[in-house]
Amino acid sequence: MIIAIASGKGGVGKTTISVNVAVLLSFLGRTVVVDGDVALPNVHVHLNLSPPASLPEVLKGEASLKEAIYELPFKVGKKETTLHILPSSGPLEKIDLDGFPEVVKELDKDYDFVIVDVAAGLSKYALLPIMASEKIYVVVNPEKASIEDGKRVISVASSIGKEVSGVIVNRYKGEKALAELAQKEISENLAGIVRESKLVKKAWEIGKPFVVAFPSSAVSKDVAKLAKNMAGMKTEIKKYGKLKYFLRLA
């Protein structure tokens, strides 16, 4: 299954969501996370990788797909898993993405879950990965401006015959009304609510996904629910208020 994680604008935590949900999905099936943002890649930074070959080299015919995929072992609690990564790193340059759909189709043959971290915005860098995906999830922050940006993804997806599969509200601090607005404006399927947490930054600084660094935290449990929903294991997402958020800070 090819799953696109998209956003109307950058800065909403889309890559953080992509990496962490991919780790947990790897416990449910063979998983690869693809950095579809070839212009401003960040997946390799989140995972502390310095890859000699990556997606741009594959697209230019300078490396094989196998050469550009890396395996990272992770331990979450007592359970062990392996996540596969197809990064996009290297100097900023114009990359022809026309071959991207074929790359993810090839990955889809070998993996249960292909998680594509899509470039923010509505440029060609975002459009082609969205076109190549079977499911599209839109990440927003609980702010009206962010939700408006997320609505634009719906318009673009609709123009190419795609439907948004769900909305993910990230950096949530109990803004129940805004979570309901995101459901109304973007997708009735509230796939996940991921709370604001200081642990996210701490994990990023040490180059580990927070679900690995802090597996028992509330924010990791939020992503566990999101991963189950993406895998088709329907899990109820409750929109709690500010009081409950502050009572359960993590």
Tell me the domain boundaries of the chain: 2-247
User: What does the pLDDT read at residue 77?
Assistant: 85
Q: Using one digit for the tens of pLDDT, what is the confidence trace for 65-115?
A: 999 999 999 999 889 999 999 999 866 566 778 899 999 999 999 999 999
Cross-strand partners of 86:
34
User: What does the pLDDT read at residue 38?
Assistant: 84
pLDDT above 80 (res 53):
yes
pLDDT averaged over the chain?
92
Task: Tell me what percent of the chain is helix, strand and coil, each rounded to the nearest 5.
Answer: 40, 20, 40
DSSP letter assigned to residue 118:
P
φ/ψ of residue 84, rounded to 5: -100, 140
Higher pLDDT residue, 115 or 248? Answer: 115
pTM over 0.85: yes
Those residues whose C-beta lies under 8 Å from the C-beta of residue 92, and which sit 6 or more positions away, are 39, 40
Rounded CA-CA distance 85/228 in Å is 20
Which burial class, exposed, middle or buried, applies to 244 when counting CB atoms under 10 A from its CB (0-12, 13-18, 19+)?
exposed
Those residues whose C-beta lies under 8 Å from the C-beta of residue 16, and which sit 6 or more positions away, are 46, 170, 200, 204, 210
Superfamily covering domain 2-247: P-loop containing nucleotide triphosphate hydrolases (3.40.50.300)
Q: How far is CA 10 from CA 99, 116, 204, 235, in A?
A: 24, 15, 17, 27
Token pair belonging to 134:
């079977």
Cross-strand partners of 75:
80
User: What does the pLDDT read at residue 160?
Assistant: 85
